Amino acid sequence: MKKLYLYISFILSLFFFNEAKAQTLTGDVVVCSTTTGNIVNHSQFLAGADRNSTIYRQCDTTGSSVRTTLTLHKIGLCTSAPTVKFVNANAKTNDQRSNDGDIGDSIFTSCQFVVDSTEGYLIALSSAGEVFPVGTDEVVNPGTYTHGVFVIDESVTVTAEVNFSGTITSAGGSSTRCITNGSTIIDTGAQGPIVNNVQRGGGGALCHSSTAATANTMRILYSNVDEIGNTTRGIESTSLGSINFYNVNDNLQRVEIITGGAGGDGTGTATTKLLLVVTFTNPLVVTQNYEYLDVLQNLSRTVSLDFEQGGALASTTIRLIQQGPFGIAFRTVEGTGKF
């Protein structure tokens, strides 16, 4: 059999659910309004004090000069939905999505993993249309696949620049141009985010006319979803399919959210991996004649802007820049066949 190459033509831009993010079970996160030339309209941040207001203070946009690095461990194709379970009874109890799964070993018997690495592959992508080949000795079996699985480390980095229609204030300056500034961000749901070791802190972006962007590093332990609370499962809908986003351990079990301890900041939560389960809008059919697979992304947004400061600062003060949502789909390329 020939070696299969998965051509990953996406920037794996994660969607994060910190305390400011407004999420629903059926819709995308709020999209920033933009002017000509993909300039973010700053007036949308001048009103609406809190989440769930008519004007949100967090939104997702495309940005520019975006670069993401991540460690990829698994890519799988499944003929039916896998079952992701909690690691123990406390994990289920502490998750505020009520009755949201069982306890025990997660089940992936319907899945074929075409990439499977304990050490992982470090991937750096610098544009939404970049094609990155990942080699594997696995050949996908013919069949109809309804779900895709991705497993990456809980930490990722993003370098990005965003331009606005008016002046935005940051912790270190003011400009119509804001960038990632080398911050460390830990997402701990309602207890966070922890920005540069400050719980619910700011300073995760710099607004300056010329300073070069440096990577923000993000560690995602668990999430907080509006009207639900702290959870280890986020949900996103895209044109390419719906995505369930899990905070898991190395055995791909949903972790126990721990908010006690010193400071009660949530950092005792033992998340080591991020598991993404994609339900394809259109099932993937692999025939005897396939040559390779393309992995496609919804390229409309790549970064998320967070302006929420809990009322302590002006609404035009940016708190942080992080990743935005994405959608994934697979496409087979037919040829003479691998079987």
pLDDT tens string 23-33: 333 344 567 88
Q: Burial-class residue 198 by CB neighbours within 10 Å (0-12, 13-18, 19+).
A: exposed
What pLDDT, on the 0 to 100 scale, is given for residue 288?
83
Q: Burial-class residue 129 by CB neighbours within 10 Å (0-12, 13-18, 19+).
A: exposed
Write out the two tokens for 3. Answer: 């070696």
Distance in angstroms (rounded) separating the CA atoms of residues 90 and 83: 19
pTM of the model: 0.82
Residue 59 lies in a domain: yes
Write out the two tokens for 261. Answer: 């301890």
311: phi > 0 → left, psi -120 to 50 → alpha, else beta; which?
A: left
What pLDDT, on the 0 to 100 scale, is given for residue 174?
94
**Residue ranges making up the domain that contains 149:** 4-334
Residue 290 lies in a domain: yes
Residue 37 lies in a domain: yes
- Confidence tier at 83 by pLDDT (50, 70, 90): very high
Residue 139 lies in a domain: yes
By the 8 A CB rule, do 185 and 218 touch? yes
Residue 293 lies in a domain: yes
Residue 339 lies in a domain: no
* CA-based nearest residue to 299, from 63, 76, 4: 63
Residues 215-251 have pLDDT tens digits of: 999 999 998 877 788 999 988 776 667 889 999 999 9
The answer to whether residue 102 scores a pLDDT higher than 80 is: yes
What value does the mean pLDDT take over residues 123-149?
A: 69
Residue 195 lies in a domain: yes
The answer to whether residue 127 scores a pLDDT higher than 70 is: no
Residue 265 lies in a domain: yes
Determine how many CB atoms are found less than 10 A away from the CB of residue 35.
Answer: 13
The residues with which 168 forms a beta bridge, in sequence order, are 175
Q: Number of structural domains, the chain? A: 1
